Amino acid sequence: MHRLRKPYLLFLGDVQDKLTAKTAFGLKDWCPNDVVGEWSLPGCGVSLGVARMSPQEAAARGAGSIIVGIAPTGGALPPHWIAELTAAAEAGLDVVSGLHTRLTSFPELVQAASRRNVRLIDVRHGERTYGAASGRKRGGKRVLTVGTDCALGKKYTALALAKNLNSRGVAASFRATGQTGIMISGEGIAIDAVIADFIAGAAEQLSPDNAADHWDVIEGQGSLFHPAYAGVTLGLLHGSQPDAIILCHDPSRRTIDEYPNFPIPDLQVAIDDYLRAGRLTNPAIRCVGLSINSSSLSHAEYAEYFRRVTDKLGMPVCDPVRNGVDVLATALLATAR
């Protein structure tokens, strides 16, 4: 399991749009107390609105790591950024990246890290191996966010839910399964980088035995209905052994993103299929509600959609951005009684 050294200096390179810098913005929004500042190259068109400081200045202020805060198409690390990351390693910072390009593929960066005894952490490429899942029932309680598709709010919902539970005095931990989630929480397993046979085993280790009243809020990945990523979703579902699931959905989508021949399933069908698959390792699994990404809807459209879905499914529905996750937290805690 990756464990990162905080606080962070966020590196933006020379990107020109906020979407490409979504990792950095996610860190600023979800763990602002762990961010000491930002650093970028000349010509960068994006700012997080936090203090600008060099790696040397950040190290002097106690920073532990510099985070590559961008997620470009293809996941490649631009070679002309390496000099800045090398300077960060020379300043004593761990260098952390969630891209596909391995930091260790740049000899000058490896040499600098060795000289300064700092780590190069490729969040997407764990060096640890995992065994096959045992299927053993573990102590504690677990909730997993699942989706009708990818990239529609599973991480955001899990983070918001964990925060809400903690605010109620409930013992709860966010369990990260993707690179941005790992950077936010400081630890986790990039589940999509685990060998297929061992995904469920990794999920078991991510969410170990715990106190009977403790909730692990597990970040979902992929979708059971995605032609490319359903395998990751199923392994995570089986290994997590969730007591509860929350279905995440974007009502603007009619087909799986970038797969126009694969329609988004009916919501009740999606719930039933997730529960059917989840019963393999937890026969008592239940769905406690829906988290809706309604960013494409007006307030009036959302109100009507909310009414229709609530009436049809008979369970709590919310948009974490519009109205928070109180109803989901309340429903979840009711399952524990």
User: Tens digit of pLDDT for each residue in 289-330?
Assistant: 999 999 999 999 999 999 999 999 999 999 999 999 999 999
Average pLDDT of the chain, as a whole number: 95
**Interior angle at CA 238, CA 235 and CA 240, nearest 5:** 100
Q: What are 15-56's pLDDT values in tens digits?
A: 998 888 989 998 999 999 999 999 999 999 999 999 999 999
Of the chain, the percentage scoring pLDDT greater than 90 comes to: 88
| Nearest alpha carbon to residue 144 among 289, 5, 243 | 243
Q: Residue 138: what residue type? A: R
Question: CATH topology for 141-335?
Answer: Rossmann fold (3.40.50)
Runs of H (alpha helix) within 189-279? 199-206, 230-240, 267-278
pLDDT of 71:
82
Q: Which of 53-57, 106-110, 256-260 shows the lowest per-residue confidence on average (mean pLDDT)?
A: 256-260
Distance of CA 297 to the CA centre of its chain: 24
What are 244's two structure tokens? 């509860």
pLDDT of 73:
67
Q: What are 196-206's pLDDT values in tens digits?
A: 999 999 999 99
Q: Is pLDDT of 126 > 80? A: no
Q: What are 48-90's pLDDT values in tens digits?
A: 999 999 999 999 999 999 999 998 767 889 999 999 999 999 9
pLDDT of 97:
95
pLDDT of 1:
64
For 2-122, CATH number out of 3.40.50.720, 3.40.640.10, 1.10.357.10, 3.40.50.10490 equals: 3.40.50.720
Measured in degrees and rounded to the nearest 5, phi and psi for residue 85 equal -70, -35
Q: What is the pTM of this model?
A: 0.89
Q: How far apart are CA 277 and CA 273, in angstroms?
A: 6
Question: Is there a shared CATH topology between the 2-122 domain and the 141-335 domain?
Answer: yes
Listed by start position, the domains of the chain span 2-122, 141-335
Residue 188 three-state SS: strand
Q: How far apart are CA 102 and CA 187, in angstroms?
A: 19
Of the chain, the percentage scoring pLDDT greater than 70 comes to: 99
Is residue 173 a contact partner of residue 250, using CB atoms and an 8 Å limit?
no
